[in-house]
Amino acid sequence: MSTLLLADHDGHQLKKATLQAITAAQAFNTPVDVLVLGSDTAAVAAQAASIAGVARVIAVSAPHLAHLLPEDAAAIILGQLNAGYTTVIAAHTTLGKDTLPRVAALRDVGMASDVIRIHARGQYERPIYAGNAIATIHSDEAMQVLTIRATSYAAAAAGNSAEIISRSAPAAQAGSQWLADDHKISDRPELATAPVVVSGGRCLGERFDEVLAPLAARLGAALGATRAAVDAGLAPNEIQVGQTGTIVAPELYIAAGISGAAQHLGGMKDSKVIVAINTDPDAPIFKVADIGIVADLFDVVPELTRQLG
Amino acid sequence: MKALVAIKRVLDYSIQVRVKPDQTDVDLAGSKMSINPFDEVAIEEALRLKEAGIVSEIVTVTIGASVAQDVLRHALAMGVDRVTLLETDTAPDSLGVAKLLAALVKDEQPGLILLGKQAIDDDAAQAGAMLSALLGWPQASAASKIVIADGKALVTREIDGGTQTVQLTLPAVISADLRLNDPRFVKLPNLMMAKKKPINTVTANSLGVPFAARQQQVRVSEPAQRPAGVLVKSVAELVAALKAKGALQ
């Protein structure tokens, strides 16, 4: 019995979410093999082999895996699964949530998505209704397939020298083809893993960046936004925080002019310290805030930036 | 080309979620139910593809008890051509949904399947990818733009930290994100007319695929409440409170 963990990486290093999934995978008390797929997996495989709790690294390099598509990733996983694996796990990132349902369907087993707690093999907690309820589910499947909500787990640390095994890739599938990625280049830390997030709502209007960016710069924070702010064109979609956007759990989350719709709260309420700045004392954001201030964000945010020096 | 749009009936997004006191499930009794918002976007996209002359017929399907007819009526009022209810009193899980839809695809032979990227009740986000895998058709999830030409779909999709463009050879399965479009407002006369249109009801069991949920829901509980916070009066107090919590590095 062992666990196969699909690594998510950028070609150079593992995403933090994968390190967090490695921690989650230890709950099964079986060896964890990390599967690294890419066009050149040497650096990422070496990093994976250095992570505590990793039994073996299986590296599959092929030119067509440079921009990994779920059809190819799932085919490779299925090809590995005859080797005593009883669990397939990944972080609930784009790659994990696109790929693991394919693996589950083709193995004819049910799947658990976005798991926040593993009680035992086959017994998981996961948020439903945008985190407004927590379901505990039970599965007797011989092959357990699950994705992990990364922010529920600490990242696994270095301190290992696991064996790296290279395997060859099956031929590329023909039905879908990668054309382009469009990632916004930013000096700020990545939203999903930033230790501090400064987030704003629609009421910031055209002054979204002007007001929030200096505070984010002072705190070394990522910028976040509500769905309403994104829909109003004030902020790009990739910084949308919420159940259907990016789920964050930073050390400090500053919500400026955010009322606290359930959809938004579902994406940030596991943050360690939440600050709410809003003129409406009845805004739901104050129910989850550790520190609240009922005031105009256009006064508070610049003054806070100034006082932090 | 025929488009198949799969939709789900869920607790309306505006309704406060309550957990039953016995913690067996969320309490839906008497609550307003609606079409899953992502699925409504999928319908709207099919309608726009039909208006552009790319799709010739739109078939909408849902799976559930007879009460699920209401979301099919909503789809008819939006303008889809035909609707099918795969009727069952036993709620399938995502794998069961994918199997039932795959069985229906054999009969309907669509060139394109559209559905929401996730349902806002179970938030599983599995059905589209599972259906794609079972059919052996290419997939694109969380689409924010779809362009169809020459038997291919050019799909811009929302991924972690940005967007990605992929090209799928049709037939394919595409799941919709909210940014794909703004669904049209359903006019009352259309809703009245939709009430007179036929609903093709098929017993889910008659499709001959096992669809019972493979996982049991053991318990549903309220999320842990955060301890009550403090309200501060000034920015100076806010900075002091942040320092006291060790939140400033």
Residues of B (37-76) whose Cβ lies below 8 Å from A: none
What pLDDT, on the 0 to 100 scale, is given for residue A243?
A: 81
Residue A242 placed within a domain:
yes
**CATH number for A250:** 3.40.50.1220
What pLDDT, on the 0 to 100 scale, is given for residue B162?
A: 87
Residue A178 placed within a domain:
no
Residue A51 placed within a domain:
yes
Residue A172 placed within a domain:
no
What pLDDT, on the 0 to 100 scale, is given for residue A186?
A: 73
Whether residues A34 and A159 share a domain: the answer is: yes
Interface contact A290-B226, CB threshold 8 A: yes
Whether residues A158 and A198 share a domain: the answer is: no
Interface contact A244-B178, CB threshold 8 A: yes
Interface with B, mutate which of A20, A106, A111 (most B CBs under 10 A): A111
- Provide, rounded to the nearest whole percent, the portion of chain B with pLDDT above 90: 92
Topology (CATH level 3) of domain B2-244: Rossmann fold (3.40.50)
What are the chain A neighbours of B93 within 8 Å (beta carbons)? 110
What pLDDT, on the 0 to 100 scale, is given for residue A203?
A: 95
Q: CA of A60 to nearest chain B CA: how many angstroms apart? A: 21
What pLDDT, on the 0 to 100 scale, is given for residue A43?
A: 97
What are the chain B neighbours of A237 within 8 Å (beta carbons)? 144, 158, 163, 179
What are the chain B neighbours of A70 within 8 Å (beta carbons)? 129, 139
CA angle A26, A6, A17 (to 5 degrees): 70
For residue B39, give Cα distances in angstroms to A135, A175, B115, B142, B178.
Answer: 23, 24, 5, 12, 9
ipTM: 0.95
Whether residues A39 and A115 share a domain: the answer is: yes
Give the integer Cα–Cα distance in Å for B238 and B44.
46
Whether residues A12 and A78 share a domain: the answer is: yes
What pLDDT, on the 0 to 100 scale, is given for residue B58?
A: 98
- Mean pLDDT for A47-73 is 97
CB nearest B226 (choices: A180, A269, A307): A269
CB nearest B162 (choices: A139, A238, A289): A238
What are the chain B neighbours of A101 within 8 Å (beta carbons)? 94, 125-130, 133
Q: How many domains does chain A have?
A: 2
Is any Cβ of chain B less than 8 angstroms from the Cβ of A46?
A: no
Whether residues A203 and A159 share a domain: the answer is: no
Is any Cβ of chain A less than 8 angstroms from the Cβ of B149?
A: no
Whether residues A27 and A103 share a domain: the answer is: yes
Is any Cβ of chain B less than 8 angstroms from the Cβ of A12?
A: no
Whether residues A74 and A159 share a domain: the answer is: yes
Nearest residue in chain B measured CA to CA from A287: B228
Residue A177 placed within a domain:
no
Whether residues A156 and A243 share a domain: the answer is: no
Whether residues A17 and A144 share a domain: the answer is: yes
Residue A173 placed within a domain:
no
Interface contact B178-A227, CB threshold 8 A: yes
Phi-psi region for residue B79, left (φ > 0), alpha (ψ -120 to 50) or beta? left
Residue reference for tokens 């790009």? A236
Name the residue ranges covered by the structural domains of chain B: 2-244
**CATH number for A119:** 3.40.50.620
In the predicted model, is pLDDT for residue A305 greater than 80?
yes
End-to-end CA distance of chain B: 58
Contact present, A77 and A37 (Cβ < 8 Å) = no
Residue reference for tokens 């096992």? B210
pLDDT along chain B (249 residues), means of 10: 98 93 95 97 98 98 97 98 97 96 97 97 97 98 97 96 95 96 94 96 96 95 90 95 89
Give the integer Cα–Cα distance in Å for A289 and A299.
19
Whether residues A241 and A287 share a domain: the answer is: yes
- Provide, rounded to the nearest whole percent, the portion of chain A with pLDDT above 70: 100
- pTM for the complete prediction? 0.93
Burial profile A95-106: b = 16 or more Cβ within 10 angstroms, e = fewer: bbbbbbbbbbbb
Which domain, by its residues, includes A303? 191-308
